[in-house]
A and B are shown apart, each in its own frame.
Chain A
Amino acid sequence: NAGVTQTPKFQVLKTGQSMTLQCAQDMNHEYMSWYRQDPGMGLRLIHYSVGAGITDQGEVPNGYNVSRSTTEDFPLRLLSAAPSQTSVYFCASSYSSSSYNEQFFGPGTRLTVL
């Protein structure tokens, strides 16, 4: 099992550009989520999905879009990148949305917006 994979590992964008961060898991997990990690702050939830076709907003959803067409994939789209979106992005998956189930994290994507 590869677990949770993310691509790319690093990305530099110019302000206003758009891009998609890829996330895939091979554990047949229903729950997937995206977080951002900024210096001096805890991870913050951007968007989450409880199953294919179902997504919802987390704590900091502005400027981001998600879709979940399959159980395996959960891409995160930046519509028009801003310097405030410079961060490390983590995708995670879990058997269900219950926090008693362990959440598995991907290796992260480090994004810099100039």
Chain B
Amino acid sequence: KNQVEQSPQSLIILEGKNCTLQCNYTVSPFSNLRWYKQDTGRGPVSLTIMTFSENTKSNGRYTATLDADTKQSSLHITASQLSDSASYICVVSARGGYQKVTFGTGTKLQVIP
């Protein structure tokens, strides 16, 4: 069964600090991996997408990495801001379209002043 596990479950950091969120997956055959940001009471919004051949992808202060060999991904947030407080969800797609997508349970990040 395809699975996506994220760690930590929750994290509290001081404004201005960096943090890294982890995602391990067992999804086969692998197609792509996305990181989503979900603000409280809102729907998820895509931050990055990576395919098998991509190691790193950046979107502003967000940098995602992918190691397809070890089936691990990370999301690094640089110089955190209060607006970064949200849940971050790792989503891995197997070949076959959106019907073959597995969502992680998310990491809840709180940035405090």
Let me know if B85 is at the binding interface, CB within 8 A.
Answer: no
Verify B43–A92 contact, CB threshold 8 A: yes
Within 8 A of B (CB), among A10-48: 31, 33, 40-45, 48
Q: How far is the CB of B35 from chain A (nearest CB, A)?
A: 12
Chain A interface residues toward B at CB < 8 A: 4, 31, 33, 40-45, 48, 56, 58, 90, 92, 94, 97-100, 102-108
Pair A42/B104 contact, Cβ less than 8 Å: yes
Q: State which size class the interface on B falls in.
A: 20 to 34
Query: Which residues of B does A touch, CB under 8 Å?
Result: 4, 31-32, 34, 41-46, 49, 51, 89, 93, 97-106
* Shortest CB distance B75–A (Å): 16
Look across to chain B and name the residue whose beta carbon is closest to the beta carbon of A9. Answer: B41
The one of B42, B43, B98 in contact with A99, judged by C-beta atoms closer than 8 angstroms, is B98
| Contact yes or no, B99 A97, CB < 8 A | yes
What residues of chain B lie closer than 8 Å to A94, measured between beta carbons?
A: 98
A103 with B105: in contact, given A108-B42, A108-B43 (CB under 8 Å)? no
A100 vs B97: C-alpha distance in the bound complex, in angstroms? 8
